[in-house]
């Protein structure tokens, strides 16, 4: 696997592309009273032009309580169809920005917020990445496995993809 570190606009483009393809990520929050992260699946609403990732979530969630204590977080994305992975570390900003709530609102969210887009529990989470690392398969999963098997048998190093830091 080759290394390809990306800078600013190219890094943001890569992050946006990978998050948009995956949609659901594991959001990990941290609290002082635990040695382990708390992880929940989250569906992103948007990746903006700065590489910030936006979510809607509930003020009654453990995630909200944890971020009130400690705003550092991690996001993990796995695109198992394409065999691509992304790890993001950063911090979260919480708001009740009604224009974002209105913009992101969908019928599906009504299952979490029975009072609709006016539900007082709705919060907007802005994830501000501080560091990110990606693993990007150059081909599809099957070809990658075949290349890995050929490498194991022959000892020849075949390029199966690239990985690198995203300097956002």
Burial classification of residue 88, based on how many CB atoms lie within 10 Å of its CB (0-12 exposed, 13-18 middle, 19 or more buried): buried
At residue 160, the pLDDT reads 56
pLDDT band at 1 (very low <50, low <70, confident <90, very high): low
Could you tell me how many residues make up the chain?
Answer: 168
In 23-112, alpha helices (H): 62-69, 98-104
Backbone angles phi, psi at 88, to 5 degrees: -125, 135
Residues 6+ apart with CB under 8 A from 104: 45, 46, 54, 56, 124
At residue 115, the pLDDT reads 93
> Contact, 63 vs 41, CB < 8 A?
no
Looking at domain 2-167, what is its CATH homologous superfamily? Answer: Electron Transport, Fmn-binding Protein; Chain A (2.30.110.10)
Residue 80: which region, alpha, beta or left (left: phi > 0; alpha: psi -120 to 50)?
alpha
pLDDT tens-digit profile of 145-168?
Answer: 444 444 555 555 555 578 899 998
Residue 140 has pLDDT above 60, yes or no: no
State the CB neighbour count (10 A cutoff) for residue 131: 13
At residue 138, the pLDDT reads 67
At residue 104, the pLDDT reads 97
pLDDT tens-digit profile of 70-109?
Answer: 999 999 999 988 889 999 999 999 999 999 999 999 998 9
């Amino acid at each position: 696997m080759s290394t390809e570190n990306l800078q600013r606009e190219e890094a943001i483009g890569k992050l946006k592309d990978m998050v948009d393809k995956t949609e659901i990520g594991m959001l990990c929050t941290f609290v002082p009273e635990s040695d382990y992260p708390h992880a929940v699946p989250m569906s992103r609403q948007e990746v903006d032009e700065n590489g910030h990732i936006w979510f809607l979530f509930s003020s009654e969630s453990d995630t909200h309580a944890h971020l009130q204590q400690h705003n550092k977080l991690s996001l993990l994305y796995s695109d198992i169809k394409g065999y691509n992975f992304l790890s993001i570390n950063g911090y979260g900003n919480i708001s009740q920005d009604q224009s974002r709530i209105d913009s992101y609102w969908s019928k599906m969210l009504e299952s979490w917020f029975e009072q609709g887009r006016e539900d007082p529990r709705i919060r907007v989470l802005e994830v501000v990445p501080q560091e990110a690392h990606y693993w990007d398969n150059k081909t599809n999963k099957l070809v990658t496995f075949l290349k890995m098997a050929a490498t194991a048998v022959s000892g020849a190093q075949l390029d199966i993809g690239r990985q690198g830091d995203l300097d956002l």
